[in-house]
């Protein structure tokens, strides 16, 4: 698995060590790389850092080994508009300022498409940020892209210990409760980790010509 990123051990900074960040760190570690984890909760990561605070991010940059890649996968955990502004929009600006020139992968959401009727979409579809939170998320994406970073739009996560209803449906075919006309968009945590792992490969060792195509039913 080490060769997926490169033939040498690489240091990757993971900002946000929730459900996705912890699993990504383990995947990198198993592949022989060095994941440095940072989170606002010191019990969840190696380093304590607050993406919403510029000074905190500069302190983090000063005390850790230089990373070859940064993965931003922090979550508001269902927060409101102000949380989106601070964590995603300001967080993106603070990260780029504290780590100038470093490649960044930003974990965004398929919610920016604003499509809820079950149509299949790709990253080439137009986005419809119909809420202020989606608009702020899109603004964070644009900040990362302007700095030559990478944006990965993920659906809601399910997997071990999370979203039991979806797991039961996948395993047993049991019907989900509620409105049967409602479309829900989920991705397994391990598939999301694999996608980030492959993106990391393209960022660290970009091919001469690389095209990424995805298709997701969005809600």
The residue that leads in pLDDT, 177 or 132, is: 132
**Contact (Cβ atoms closer than 8 angstroms) between residue 81 and residue 184:** no
Distance CA 208, CA 68 (A): 20
- How many CB atoms within 10 Å of residue 47? 16
Q: How confident is the model at residue 216 (pLDDT cuts 50, 70, 90)?
A: very low
Which residue bears the tokens 């033939």? 7
Phi/psi at 214 (5° precision)? -135, 155
Query: Given this model, what pLDDT does residue 180 score?
Result: 62
Q: What is the pLDDT of residues 2-31, one digit of tens each?
A: 344 445 778 999 999 999 999 999 999 999
Query: Given this model, what pLDDT does residue 164 score?
Result: 62
Q: What is the pLDDT of residues 161-206, one digit of tens each?
A: 776 666 666 666 666 666 666 677 889 999 999 999 999 888 776 5
Distance CA 164, CA 141 (A): 30
Query: Given a cut of 50, is residue 213 above it in pLDDT?
Result: no
């Amino acid at each position: 698995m080490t060769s997926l990123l490169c033939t040498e051990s690489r240091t990757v900074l993971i900002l946000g060590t929730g459900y996705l960040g912890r699993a990504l760190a383990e995947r990198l570690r198993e592949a022989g790389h060095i994941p440095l984890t940072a989170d606002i909760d010191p019990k969840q990561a190696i380093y304590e850092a607050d993406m919403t605070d510029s000074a905190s991010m500069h302190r983090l940059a000063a005390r850790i080994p230089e990373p070859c890649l940064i993965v931003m996968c922090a979550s508001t955990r269902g927060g409101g508009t102000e949380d989106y502004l601070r964590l995603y929009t300001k967080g993106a600006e603070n990260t780029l300022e504290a780590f100038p020139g470093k490649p960044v992968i930003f974990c965004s959401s398929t919610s920016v498409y604003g499509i809820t009727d079950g149509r299949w979409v790709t990253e080439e579809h137009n986005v419809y940020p119909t809420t202020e939170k989606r608009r702020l998320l899109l603004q964070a994406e644009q900040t990362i892209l302007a700095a030559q970073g990478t944006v990965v739009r993920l659906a809601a996560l399910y997997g071990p210990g999370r979203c039991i209803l979806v797991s039961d449906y996948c395993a047993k075919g049991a019907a989900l409760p509620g409105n049967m006309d409602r479309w829900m968009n989920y991705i397994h945590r391990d598939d999301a980790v694999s996608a980030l792992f492959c993106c990391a490969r393209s960022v660290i060792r970009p091919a001469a010509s690389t095209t990424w195509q995805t298709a997701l039913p969005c809600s």
